[in-house]
Chains A and B, each alone.
Chain A
Amino acid sequence: MELFQYPYMQRALIAALVIGLAAPALGIYLVQRRLALIGDGIGHVALTGVGAGLLLNRSPVLVAVIVATLGAIAIELVRSRGRTSGDLALALLFYGGIAGGVMLVGLSHSPSANLNAYLFGSLTTISPTDLTTIVVLGVVILVAMLVLRPALFAVSHDEEYARVSGLPVRTLNMLIAITTAVTVTIAMRAVGVLLISALMVVPVASAQQVTRGFRSTMTAAMALGLFAAGSGVWVAANADTAPGASVVLMAIASFLVIALAAAGWRVLRRRRVPAAAPAAPEPHEVLIG
């Protein structure tokens, strides 16, 4: 525990906890609209921003936010047009993003460890300024996702119905796209661009094994994200492992535990309720006056 007496470790822990809370709060909407891997794609694009930032001697995180946001807007436009070539357009964007990033980082002559820090996270690189950025943007994302939950739920659940309800569907979709880009980039330092998507998706996947509603899934996913981030950073600090990898492995471990427990619970309940009792048939008294 004494490691957390160092300010840089405290910063790392706070950053990870904020991200652990915000990433699943956004991720649940991505999972709901079957875009579970979009965060990964935007991470690739963000890498080009990192490269450009290093090359231009500007803040890599700031440039990455801009580039990733532009990428996310492009992806959303392709998605909403529903073009058949959308799949290929996304592939071009993703691979172009990572290739551009690797090339620009190379041109900038910064040490290769620098690239690794962005790919997989690096606890020691979070400066006090970085932490402020992460906390402020993280809280903004969290508040937006919670306050707009009914509207974002409606849009992600049934886009046509949302349109007929007069909701600003395009704006809400764009909000999700931009929020994804911002989440990916602020999480870069703590978890890394290649693994952040897991923190958006895995806690949601774990939570929905045992929940019945959207709200309860969101709450449980945020709790699991918080746990994975906190325990992951603790493991990374003590075992000197890459923080991104540790956080993601903790998230996946909790998924396995919950999935097994849920399966076991179902088997137990089936045993307790004798198989002879069939499920109640559909009631007939549904006639209403």
Chain B
Amino acid sequence: MNPPVITVAHAAVGYDGRAVLRDVSLTVTAGEVVAVLGANGSGKSTLVRSVLGLVPLSAGSVTLFDRPLRRFRQWERIGYVPQRLGAGGGVPATVREVVASGRLARRGILRPPGAADRTEVDRALHAVGLADRANDAVATLSGGQQQRTLIARALAGRPELLVLDEPTAGVDAASQEAFAGALREFVTDGGTVLLVAHELGPLRPVISRAIVVHDGSICHDGPVPEPAGHHAEPDHDHVHPHCDDEPARLWSI
């Protein structure tokens, strides 16, 4: 078996006394492409954010690359893609400038960018199909192109693990395809992926394992669940959590 990249053991998270995650355990091994699925508010985003230390655990533990999260320092091994790009107070930034931020984990904050940094930024821009927009302001890009900018930023650091939070939410079809292509390339090169999704769309063939979160707990861990009922209709591409203990009426409106 491949070495574990992420190990979550009995993790719990609560906001203001309300439990968002309860007793969640999961292991992601090298080379896996794991999708975390679930309805809005199920805790799927919180699970992924707690893996990165962005949300503190109230109980349990997270281990990254065989190191407890608290003592983990090799952040260059991880590429994080948040849900969306912040507005940045209106100060413009070019696509290249945003992607270049992805090199900081490797380079450190004091060393000026060198030729290697520029090469990697070019490579990442090319991988997501944005090489021709490198010098445009990110604010002038479409939502999908902005998402691709964020994945390029993560790829520029040459990570071993990509963590993506709803990378395809509200993204046009062309960008979703570009996204799936970049992800496939990353996985072929031996990368590990953990991604949160509401719908999989063109990412579906890339996913090797699905975890469904419902009400703060994992209720499915295995192959990508097949859409059922009216969710299976051709024009409906949601991949919903389908849990055995879930009231059927939730999906049969």
Contact = CB atoms under 8 A, between A and B. Distances in A.
A288 B94 contact: no
Given A213-B97, A286-B129, A288-B181, A166 B90 contact: no
A168 to B, nearest CB: 7
A217 B97 CA distance: 12
A57 to B, nearest CB: 41
Q: Chain A: interface residue count, which band?
A: 35 or more
A288 B88 contact: no
A158 B146 CA distance: 14
Contacts of A204: 91
A150 B104 contact: yes
Interface stretch (B72-80, B231-239, B240-248): B72-80
A213 B101 contact: no
B153 A211 contact: no
Contact of B104 (A36, A151, A283): A151
A64 B250 CA distance: 62
A210 to B, nearest CB: 10
A28 B91 contact: yes
Contact of A164 (B78, B86, B175): B78
B104 A288 contact: no
A153 B88 CA distance: 10
Interface stretch (B25-33, B135-143, B192-200, B215-223): B135-143
B75 A32 contact: no
Given A150-B113, A153-B101, A282-B172, A214 B54 contact: no
Best-surrounded residue of A161, A213, A289 (most CB of chain B within 10 A): A161
A287 interface: yes
A215 interface: yes
B212 interface: no
Interface in A13-66: 28, 31-34, 36
Interface in A131-154: 147-148, 150-151, 153-154
A71 B78 CA distance: 36
5 contacts: A31-B91, A150-B100, A150-B101, A150-B104, A287-B181
Interface of A: 28, 31-34, 36, 147-148, 150-151, 153-154, 156-158, 160-168, 172, 204, 208, 211-215, 217, 282-284, 286-289
Interface of B: 52-54, 73-76, 78, 80, 82, 85-86, 88-94, 96-98, 100-105, 109-110, 112-113, 127-129, 135-137, 142, 144-145, 153, 157, 163, 172, 174-175, 177-178, 181-182, 185
By Cβ-Cβ distance, the 4 closest A-B pairs, closest first, are: A166-B75, A151-B109, A288-B181, A213-B94
